Amino acid sequence: MDGPASVVEFAVFQQIDVRVGRISSVEPAEGCRVPAYKLVIDFGPAIGTRRSIAQATNYPQESLVGRQVLAVMNFKPRQIGKHTSEVLVLGVPTQEKGTALVVPEMEAIIGGRMF
């Protein structure tokens, strides 16, 4: 396990735009080196929908639809296999070498920014 990252100013954290979205569709992301899902996530009327490629295949596909997640909105889009990932869905490793998605503990405002 890696140690803590270097210390940064709070202003650096404030530059990262993390928002709440709701997964509206999930399908396998064919052609990726590591098994992944292609997610469509709704961030509300002001932002709209974004796509993400997420290595969260330890979740049953149907259990992700309707789930709220946190995602970094202001990274440059990234090519993953033949897919473009527009946002980075946040997750942490599990003991079983899977991914635990970072989610609000209770229903949050869609499009709300993390602070």
List, in order, residues 6 or more apart from 37 with CB less than 8 Å away. Answer: 26, 27, 28, 29, 53, 54, 56, 57, 61, 64
Query: Is the residue at 114 inside a domain?
Result: no
Domain residues for the domain of 18 are: 14-101
Question: Is 115 among the domain residues?
Answer: no
Provide the domain count of the chain: 1
Give the C-alpha distances (Å, rounded to integers) separating 81 from 24, 34, 54. 22, 9, 12
pLDDT per residue as tens digits for the range 1-13: 688 889 999 999 9
Look-up of token digits 């530059």:
15
pLDDT of residue 2: 81
CB atoms inside a 10 Å sphere around CB 7: 6
pLDDT at position 3: 87
Give a yes or no: residue 48 inside a domain. yes
Q: What is the pLDDT of residue 1?
A: 61
Question: What pLDDT is stored for residue 89 in this prediction?
Answer: 98
pLDDT (tens digit, 9 = 90+) per residue, 40-91?
999 999 999 999 999 999 999 999 999 999 999 999 999 999 999 999 999 9
Rounded CA separation 78/85 (Å)? 5
